[in-house]
């Protein structure tokens, strides 16, 4: 069975601390959040690596959601991350990172994945992102990144962006990548690199779209209780690309991205995202319609 979209990303064992509680050694990583969110709209296939210390049964819920897992290698010890959010809940402070098997990860795209028309290159070493691009020719590639690669691997990162259709990153990354404090300018510089669309994620402030479908400002879903923002950006990305893959409307896809991310933020790790129902998603989507009406 071929996936509709392939998601390259991490599988992590996360230890999280926020002002509202803690979670010790729970499943995390960009490919986990993204594929769980994507499963509501299309069939995602995960491309990642996990360690022998992460039990298969931890991923069983994804299988039940129709997520394909044959692109997951198992080797060595699992990637581990521990982070803390303080009062303002805006940025995580990384307490500890153990790359482990992620350090040696050389993805091999399974044959069945090669038919997928959509590819989400979640934040990862740009050289690894490029190696996946070499193995596959999807119709639409979306790339995410982070400050570390902007600072240390600028050249391969720009090359990977040029080979992509959609650039998705947060506001701080956009400013740093294009060396301007102005997000509109940053987006225009990204479009000059050849991508069709740029999505800038701004956490609680929502997200912006530039390019192909014009300028769109997507509100953040107004949450009174944010327990843990870990994985919100990857949730957004997974939901966005899977919805876009099926329906071809970037604006609607972003709103679904915002809705799914709002559920992720309500629980620790993936606990809330695991349980959310299609009905809950549609209820919030309808609310979002009203949030922008004037």
Collapsed DSSP state (helix, strand, coil) of residue 170: strand
Q: What's the closest the beta carbon of residue 36 comes to a copy of itself, in angstroms?
A: 23
Subset of residues 167 to 226 that bind a copy of itself, contact rule: CB under 8 A: 175, 181-185, 188, 202, 204-206, 208, 214-220, 222-226
Contact 164, 198 (CB under 8 A): no
Contacting range for a copy of itself; rule: CB under 8 A; set: 48-56, 67-75, 124-132, 248-256:
248-256
Helix axis angle for 30-38 and 232-247, nearest 10°, is 40
Nearest to 31 by CA among 242, 256, 276: 242
Q: Does 284 bind a copy of itself (CB under 8 A)?
A: no
- Report the site for a copy of itself in 33-92 (rule: CB under 8 A): 87-89
If binding means CB under 8 A, how many residues of this protein chain bind a copy of itself?
Answer: 38
User: Nearest approach, Cβ of 242 to a copy of itself (angstroms)?
Assistant: 17
Looking at the Cβ atoms of 108 and 249, the one nearer to a copy of itself is 249
User: 198 in helix, strand or coil?
Assistant: strand
Of the pair 49, 245, the CB lying nearest a copy of itself is at 245
The binding track of 119-158 with respect to a copy of itself, each residue x by CB under 8 A or -, is ----------------------------------------
Q: Which is nearer to a copy of itself, 183 or 193 (CB)?
A: 183
Residues 226-245 that bind a copy of itself (CB under 8 A): 226
Nearer to a copy of itself, 212 or 251 (CB): 251
Distance (Å, whole) CA 50 – CA 193: 34
**Residue 292 Cβ, how far from a copy of itself at the closest point, in Å?**
4
**Cβ closest to a copy of itself, residue 43 vs residue 243:** 243
Which DSSP category does 84 fall into?
E
Closest residue by Cα to residue 207 from 284, 146, 292: 292
Q: Which residues contact 55 (CB under 8 A, 6 or more apart)?
A: none
Q: Which residue, 107 or 257, is less far from a copy of itself as judged by CB?
A: 257
Q: 201 near 229, Cβ under 8 Å?
A: no
Specify the pairing of strand 216-218 against strand 207-211. antiparallel
For residue 119, what are its two tokens?
A: 């590819």
For residue 205, the Cα-to-chain-centroid distance in whole angstroms is 17
**By the 8 A CB rule, do 259 and 239 touch?**
yes
Residues in contact with a copy of itself by CB under 8 A are: 87-89, 175, 181-185, 188, 202, 204-206, 208, 214-220, 222-226, 249, 251-252, 254-255, 289-294
């Amino acid at each position: 069975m071929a996936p509709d979209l392939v998601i390259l990303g991490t599988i992590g064992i996360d230890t999280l601390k926020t002002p509202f509680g803690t979670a010790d050694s729970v499943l995390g990583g960009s490919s986990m959040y993204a594929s769980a969110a994507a499963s509501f709209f299309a069939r995602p296939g995960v491309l990642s690596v996990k360690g022998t210390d992460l039990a298969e049964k931890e991923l069983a819920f994804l299988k039940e959601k129709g997520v394909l897992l044959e692109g997951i290698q198992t080797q060595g010890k699992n990637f581990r991350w521990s982070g803390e959010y303080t009062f303002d809940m805006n940025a995580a402070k990384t307490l500890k990172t153990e790359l482990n098997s992620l350090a040696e990860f050389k993805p091999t795209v399974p044959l069945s994945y090669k038919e997928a028309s959509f590819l989400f290159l979640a934040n990862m070493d740009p050289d690894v992102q490029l190696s996946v691009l070499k193995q596959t020719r999807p119709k639409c590639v979306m790339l995410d990144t982070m400050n570390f690669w902007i600072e240390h691997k600028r050249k391969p990162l720009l090359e990977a962006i040029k080979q992509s259709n959609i650039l998705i990153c947060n506001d701080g990354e956009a400013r740093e990548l294009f060396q301007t404090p102005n997000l509109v300018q940053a987006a225009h510089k990204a479009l000059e690199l050849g991508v069709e669309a740029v999505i800038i994620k701004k956490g609680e402030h929502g997200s912006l779209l530039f390019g192909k479908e014009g300028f769109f400002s997507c509100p953040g879903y107004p949450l009174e209780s944010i327990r843990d923002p870990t994985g919100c950006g990857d949730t957004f990305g997974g939901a966005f690309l899977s919805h876009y893959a099926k329906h071809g409307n970037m604006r609607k896809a972003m709103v679904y991205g915002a809705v799914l991310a709002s559920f992720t933020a309500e629980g620790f790790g993936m606990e809330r995202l695991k349980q959310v129902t299609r009905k809950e998603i549609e209820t919030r989507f309808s609310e979002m319609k009203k949030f922008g009406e004037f």
